Amino acid sequence: MRSILRSLSWLPVLAATVLLSGCGYNRIQTLDEATKSGWSEVLNQYQRRADLIPNLVNTVKGFAAQEQAVLIGVTEARAKATQVKVDANNPDSLKQFQASQGELSGALSRLMVVVEKYPELKSDQNFRDLQSQLEGTENRITVARNRYIQTIQDYNIQVRQFPGNLTAMMFGYKVKPNFTVENEATISKPPTVDFGAPAPAKPTG
């Protein structure tokens, strides 16, 4: 008799497990974890880019110290982007993060335009290595960002569609904000760049 009662005691647990599985609870858990993992990878790649910038700025400065406005612009944009405390579940926070990363991308683009004026810099091995690393990082950012966008889409579909929406409502899972262009940051110390005195003008005539 006791063995029978013991067996029956498992029935509520078994029923709850079947019910949760059937209503998409496990699927929501899987997708939610995928969004967290995807977001971490996005942050890692943006941080990788931020870590390259101080050396890049110093290398360019060595050949083009007179381009202070552009160099300072990159440094300030980098500092701003890495100081944004982003909450991926908060649309306003995510928008602020996107904006700061977009400003940094623009500053880097302007820096690369300036580089075209300095053949010696373009031929410098250290600069070429940094440029190659930066290009590779930009590609990794794109891949990580696109994967994250897809995981958010999959998750949001699950918590919106029936019967998953009922399960999501019951357990407090809500639709997550997404982004389409720029993204994420972690807190890091802004670079210290000493630009020194501007390079003397070349004599004419």
- How does residue 135 score in pLDDT terms, banded at 50, 70 and 90? very high
Indicate whether 82 belongs to any domain. yes
Q: How far is 158 from 152, CA to CA, in rounded Å?
A: 10
Identify the CATH number of the domain in which residue 57 sits. Answer: 1.10.287
- Is 178 inside a domain boundary? no
Which pLDDT value is given to residue 23? Answer: 67
Q: Is position 185 within any domain?
A: no
**Would residue 125 count as lying in a domain?**
yes
Centre a 10 Å sphere on the Cβ of residue 166 and count the other Cβ atoms it contains.
12
Return the pLDDT at 6: 52
- pTM equals 0.77
Q: Is residue 179 domain-resident?
A: no
Number of folded domains that form the chain: 1
Whether residue 2 lies inside any domain: the answer is: no
Residue 193 maps to a domain: no
- For residue 1, being part of any structural domain is answered with no
Residue range of the domain that includes 122? 23-171
Neighbour-count burial for 103-117, b at 16+ CB within 10 Å, e otherwise:
bbbebbeebeebbee
